[in-house]
Amino acid sequence: MYDVAVIGCGIIGANVANLLSRCDLRLVVLEKENDVSMGTTRANSAIIHAGYDPEPGTDMARLNVRGNELTRKQCEAYHVSYKQIGSLVLAFDEADEKTVEKLYANGCANGVPGLKILSREEVLKMEPNLSPEVRTALYAPSAGIVAPWELCFALAEAAVKNGCEMRFNSPVEKIEVIEGGYRLTTPTGSVDAKVVVNAAGVEADQVTGLVAAPSFTTQPNKGEYYLLDKSQGETVHHVIFQCPNKDGKGVLVSPTVHGNLIVGPNASPCERGDTATTPEGMAFVRKMAVKSVPGVSFRDNIRNFAGVRANSTASDFVIEETKPGFITLGAIKSPGLSSAPAIAEDALKLIGRTLVLKEKPEYVDSREVTVFRHLTPEQKAEAVRKNPLYGRVICRCETVTEGEIVDALHGVLPPHTIDGVKRRCNAGMGRCQGGFCGPRVHEIIARELGMDPKDVLKDKAGSVIIIGETKGGTL
């Protein structure tokens, strides 16, 4: 019997598994999809919020501020792309100015460091490309940007390195109460565990519903984005928000950690799993974004995508022991990414009611990764001398070498798909979006993992790339 089974490996499940793997426990993560970070964690604004949005006294407020600090430390420890660039909330009229003052007061009550309300002149000096209509802005220097999937992967990888088992393609379909714990049934087999942590994101209410009446219902809500080319990455230098409204934090314009510009999201109710972009959603995002930054160059768009929020009937995050030894981490909408490590700390306290959590001395808390483009010329020469595959650039947009892709494919949590390689090494993230390097990555995956090329997928199960032979050739 496992000590703990974690359901779902988004940023919440990965953080819980990571913390638990520091303790002397038998652990397993059951993930529905074929990789980590396949749900909301891979499609969001990627902001580590400062913590002035949530109402003081809520779990969201407490966990956002603590999570902001912890995320920064995690990114440092695991060499994950992160930049503390600060955020600005712009006010365009009197009502907005009142909102900015309210956010400032919230932030002070929540313990957000360094908050300041800036005058029009101060804001425009910091960000000359903003609309001249701006009147004041709330400046939060502790806000940051991150690569969420990279962080999720790094946390999960560390958990696996420290003994946690990871089972993909394992949606939990049935949960039974058994002597001393729970039995979780998936198509890849069943798992018995003393404690279960439900971190199933948008599906968390349904998963809890397999064993008890959930205290909330998810109301999925879609947010759509533009991702612009790196030529636009310097349009602004902070995360630019408008004042929040009933639908959330509104449309933002922000640099990304990879040097692109991200613009979005809208907010519209949707079905679970509906990540299709829509002409209406994209038009709304464009209309709202130019209010803040009139010169956003949408002709430099390289990708559109959408993510699904776990909005719910609960007003706060749901972090509860639903039944003895069954913990629900649900309704984790924004700022869920920012709060994730702190949510995991709370989860551990609940797990501690059932299990004795004792840190193990042999825990390894580091991550070595070669990112060729970040090396000095001397380091590059040395890397190529040791392994000539670092001398072969596969993704020219992002300068990703074959050596880095091969490293990932033989890592402790190897990808099996083209997008899995993209999320680990950046190959295919750039201007051509894998148009040129995709087929080469496909070849390398098949070669290194000994897979039939027909079985190498683009992304989730069913995203087949090659369906047969052409011109009588062999695959």
Ligand X SMILES: Cc1cc2nc3c(=O)[nH]c(=O)nc-3n(C[C@H](O)[C@H](O)[C@H](O)COP(=O)(O)OP(=O)(O)OC[C@H]3O[C@@H](n4cnc5c(N)ncnc54)[C@H](O)[C@@H]3O)c2cc1C
The only residue of 265, 325, 403, 420 in contact with ligand X, by rule CB under 6 A:
265
Burial (CB count within 10 angstroms: exposed 0-12, middle 13-18, buried 19+), residue 420: buried
336 to 17, 64, 274, 282: CA distances (angstroms)? 16, 8, 19, 24
Site residues for ligand X, 166-195, by CB under 6 A, read 171-172
CA neighbours closer than 13 Å in the CB half-sphere of residue 255:
22
In whole angstroms, what is the distance from residue 398 CA to residue 429 CA? Answer: 7
User: Binding of ligand X at residue 40 (CB under 6 A)?
Assistant: yes
Least distance (Å) from ligand X to the CB of residue 267?
8
Least distance (Å) from ligand X to the CB of residue 64?
7
Least distance (Å) from ligand X to the CB of residue 249?
8
The only residue of 2, 3, 6, 8 in contact with ligand X, by rule CB under 6 A:
8
Is 79 a catalytic site residue?
no
Q: What track of x and - describes contact with ligand X for positions 267 through 306 (by CB under 6 A)? A: ----------------------------------------
Is the Cα torsion angle 121, 68, 228, 272 positive or negative in sign? Answer: negative
- CB proximity list for 24: less than 8 A, separation 6 or greater: 358, 359, 360
Least distance (Å) from ligand X to the CB of residue 307?
3
438, 462 contact by CB (below 8 A)? no
389, 403 contact by CB (below 8 A)? yes
User: Binding of ligand X at residue 44 (CB under 6 A)?
Assistant: yes
Q: Which is nearer to ligand X, 318 or 456 (CB)?
A: 318
Stretch that binds ligand X, among 38-46, 229-237, 297-305, 442-450 (CB under 6 A): 38-46
User: Binding of ligand X at residue 203 (CB under 6 A)?
Assistant: yes
Stretch that binds ligand X, among 41-49, 96-104, 273-281, 420-428 (CB under 6 A): 41-49
267, 333 contact by CB (below 8 A)? no
Q: Which is nearer to ligand X, 201 or 430 (CB)?
A: 201
User: Binding of ligand X at residue 11 (CB under 6 A)?
Assistant: yes
397, 377 contact by CB (below 8 A)? no
Q: Which is nearer to ligand X, 169 or 387 (CB)?
A: 169
Q: Which is nearer to ligand X, 339 or 401 (CB)?
A: 339
Least distance (Å) from ligand X to the CB of residue 5?
10
In whole angstroms, what is the distance from residue 327 CA to residue 322 CA? Answer: 6
Site residues for ligand X, 333-392, by CB under 6 A, read 333-338
- At 433 the three-state DSSP class reads coil
The only residue of 223, 341, 403, 415 in contact with ligand X, by rule CB under 6 A:
223
312, 40 contact by CB (below 8 A)? no
User: Binding of ligand X at residue 31 (CB under 6 A)?
Assistant: yes
Q: Which is nearer to ligand X, 306 or 406 (CB)?
A: 306
Closest CA to 421 of 432, 241, 431, 410: 410
| Pair of tokens at residue 104 | 């400032």
User: Binding of ligand X at residue 201 (CB under 6 A)?
Assistant: yes
Q: Which is nearer to ligand X, 30 or 138 (CB)?
A: 30
34 to 28, 94, 174, 224, 406: CA distances (angstroms)? 15, 49, 19, 24, 19
Which uninterrupted H or E stretch holds 194?
strand 189-198
Give how many residues touch ligand X by CB under 6 A: 40
User: Binding of ligand X at residue 7 (CB under 6 A)?
Assistant: yes
Site residues for ligand X, 112-171, by CB under 6 A, read 171
Site residues for ligand X, 451-470, by CB under 6 A, read none
The only residue of 200, 228, 257, 282 in contact with ligand X, by rule CB under 6 A:
200
Burial (CB count within 10 angstroms: exposed 0-12, middle 13-18, buried 19+), residue 359: exposed
| Pair of tokens at residue 65 | 């501020």
Q: Which is nearer to ligand X, 248 or 391 (CB)?
A: 248
Site residues for ligand X, 416-435, by CB under 6 A, read none
Pairing state of beta strands 2-7 and 27-30?
Answer: parallel
Which uninterrupted H or E stretch holds 182?
strand 181-186
Q: Which is nearer to ligand X, 32 or 258 (CB)?
A: 32
Query: Catalytic residue numbers?
Result: 49
Please report, as ranges, the residues that interact with ligand X according to CB under 6 A: 7-13, 30-33, 38-41, 44-47, 49, 171-172, 199-203, 207, 223, 265, 307-309, 332-338
